[in-house]
Amino acid sequence: MNLLIHAAGPQTTVQDLGRRGALRTGIPPSGPMDREAFLLANRLVGNADDAAALECTLIGPRFELADARWVAVTGAAMPVTLNGAAMPRWAAFEVKPGDTLRLGPAASGVRAYIAVSGGIDTPPALGSRSTYLRGQLGGHQGRALRKSDVLPLGPSSGGAPAEVLHRFIPDYTQATTVRVVLGPQDDRFTERGIAALFEAPYEMTPQSDRMGARLRGARIEHTQGHDIISDGVALGGVQVVGDGQPIVLLADRQSTGGYTKIGTVCSFDIGRVCQVKPGQRLSFTRVTVAEAHELLRTHRAGLDHAIHWEETP
Amino acid sequence: MGIYAEPRVLPCGDLALSVELGDDINREVNARVLALEYLIQQRGLSGVTETVPSYRSLLVYYDPLIVGWDALRKSLHALWREARPEVLPRARTVEVPCCYEGELGFELEAAAEKIGLPADEVARLHADADYYVYFVGFTPGLPYMTGMPERIFIPRLVQPRLKTPPGSVSIGGIQCCIYSVESPGGFWVLGRTPLRLYDPESADPILLRAGDHVRFTMITRSEYDAIAAAVADGTYAPRVPVAP
């Protein structure tokens, strides 16, 4: 009833849907950077949406399971092999005790998810199994996984062959456009500054992490400086500091901050931001709150039809 | 300056909005922010998933498939009318021991020179004040406070330092904070508390809350070491809130 790590990869962590209610004490929600890929991995193996799975960054782990389980790998295009044989991604398959499963380096995208039927059963901290690395909280001992770590698994209720429909599988090699609602401090930017954000694409820089995506591109001009009276920072907040460059704040963000936020990336596009590799570019487009809510509704409904279940023989 | 006649509601993407109640840092505005948050918790406002108070605004996370923008605005506005400091439960006063000596208060001398008072006088003025916690944030458990006498106000560091030890009691502008985890910092470090502002091993990991009052008690280096050892052993019982 456990998972044994033979090689961990640069940053593999346990994540569930995140920690709710602790932001008011400065503890971020954490949870998967790409929520859609994470949810689909869980659903493929028959888990509840909030079961814990592994998030792998750029290179995945090598591991084995102590008993037979269904496994699914989604997100970044890390080649999956089972005892050396190539396996499909975005699909559920069975893994037997003693099999070695391995994820290679990402050909595209940044973060991949590995869900195991039954879920990872590490002890919850403040109601969640998500790892908050900077706060050494949750997950497996509050840290990224290492060689020889043993993770407990929850009871598995079996599984069935299933795959994500082709049209729901993102192509991370394509340029991404993400949608932004202006505010809360768009009034602190010049018209030219706001136009700059939406005109040309921005490049992802290697300084990006689970706290924020640091981007480089056209300077976003302020009207009167970048300091504000510190306020809460929403998921996706696009913070612009003195150098005029945007930072999109993510799952492990600071709960509050003293810098202007020109806009906020919509929740349903956060996953796409988190799959953009350093050097790749992404563009922003503007939507209203009402449009964003309509898009969210469509997005959630779409996810519910993303998986094709094969009939069991 | 002060409290707005009507709250400003600002969009923060598709899942959050910010309710801004005033335009400066003062306790009256902040008490109304905390009162609004408290009423939301008490009433269990439908569709609200999480709230984050700060100096003058409340960030409200919501699920738009449960409550729409207009409906949420309306119910928040109705609660705002009731959100007076009197609705809040009685505030706690928390005693925080602080050692201002040697390397623990590694910027006390420099700060005192800039302020133009002797170092022991700056430490005494700092320790004698009553502090109010506006909110806790940025890093886990870090309190944003005011309360120092004007005589020890000091501009922030020109060049922020890259690492500040957890527990560092620090001042900048009119504010006082206690760093909760090792992090960059732009405030002058006057001393250090042996208490843990954030303890991930604990079931209740956060020492201070928005609305608390804090009193520093000046301790010697040997008292600091004794309390630090007790905290490490888990035998330092009181995170003692004392009645005001």
At residue B236 the predicted structure's pLDDT band, cuts being 50, 70 and 90, is confident
Higher pLDDT: B146 or B238? It is B146
Positions of CATH 2.40.100.10 in chain A: 176-303
| % of chain A exceeding 70 in pLDDT | 99
| CB-based contact A237 B180, cutoff 8 Å | no
Q: Tell me the mean pLDDT in the region B172-185.
A: 93
Chain segment A126-149, per-residue pLDDT in tens: 999 999 999 999 999 999 999 999
Instruction: Name the residue type at position A201.
Output: P
The answer to whether B3 touches B28, Cβ cutoff 8 Å, is yes
One-character DSSP codes across A67-100? S-EEEEEEES---EEETTEEE-SSEEEEE-TT--
Q: Residue B199 is encoded by which pair of tokens? A: 């303890």
For residue A216, the cross-strand partners are: A203
Pick from A82, A58, A61, A52: which is nearest to A148 by CA?
A61
**Homologous superfamily of domain range B93-242:** Cyclophilin-like (2.40.100.10)
At residue B241 the predicted structure's pLDDT band, cuts being 50, 70 and 90, is low
Q: What is the pLDDT of residue A312?
A: 54
Chain segment B72-119, per-residue pLDDT in tens: 999 999 999 999 999 999 999 999 999 999 999 999 999 999 999 999
User: Where do we find the tokens 């990336």?
Assistant: A265
| CB-based contact B57 A232, cutoff 8 Å | yes
Pick from A51, A93, A87, A99: which is nearest to A310 by CA?
A93
Positions of CATH 3.30.1360.40 in chain B: 3-87
The answer to whether B62 touches B71, Cβ cutoff 8 Å, is no
Whole-angstrom distance, CA of residue B191 vs CA of residue B213:
19
pLDDT at A313 over 80: no
* Coil, strand or helix at B133: strand
Q: What is the mean pLDDT of chain A?
A: 96
pLDDT at B160 over 90: no
CATH fit for domain A176-303, picks 2.40.10.10, 2.40.100.10, 3.30.2130.10, 3.40.50.300? 2.40.100.10
At residue A82 the predicted structure's pLDDT band, cuts being 50, 70 and 90, is very high
Report in angstroms the alpha-carbon separations of A120 from A14, A88, A111, A124.
8, 22, 18, 11
A230 Cβ partners below 8 Å, 6+ apart? Answer: A256, A257, A258, B54, B55, B137, B138, B144
Q: What is the pLDDT of residue B235?
A: 87
Option in B59, B142, B205 nearest A234 (CB): B59
Q: Tell me the mean pLDDT in the region B34-47.
A: 96
Q: Residue A167 is encoded by which pair of tokens? A: 């049209």
Q: Residue B190 is encoded by which pair of tokens? A: 């006057």
A40 Cβ partners below 8 Å, 6+ apart? Answer: A72, A74, A90, A164, A168, A303, A306, A307
Residues 245-304 of A with CB under 8 A from B: 254-257, 261, 263-268, 289-290, 292-293, 295-297, 300
User: What ipTM does this complex have?
Assistant: 0.96
Residues 213-232 of A with CB under 8 A from B: 229-232
Chain segment A166-196, per-residue pLDDT in tens: 999 999 999 999 999 999 999 999 999 999 9
Higher pLDDT: A258 or B125? It is B125
For residue A229, the tally of other CB atoms under 10 A from its CB is 15
Residues 48-107 of A with CB under 8 A from B: none
Query: What CATH number belongs to B3-87?
Result: 3.30.1360.40
Q: Residue B19 is encoded by which pair of tokens? A: 């309710």
Chain segment A227-237, per-residue pLDDT in tens: 899 999 999 99
Positions of CATH 2.40.100.10 in chain B: 93-242
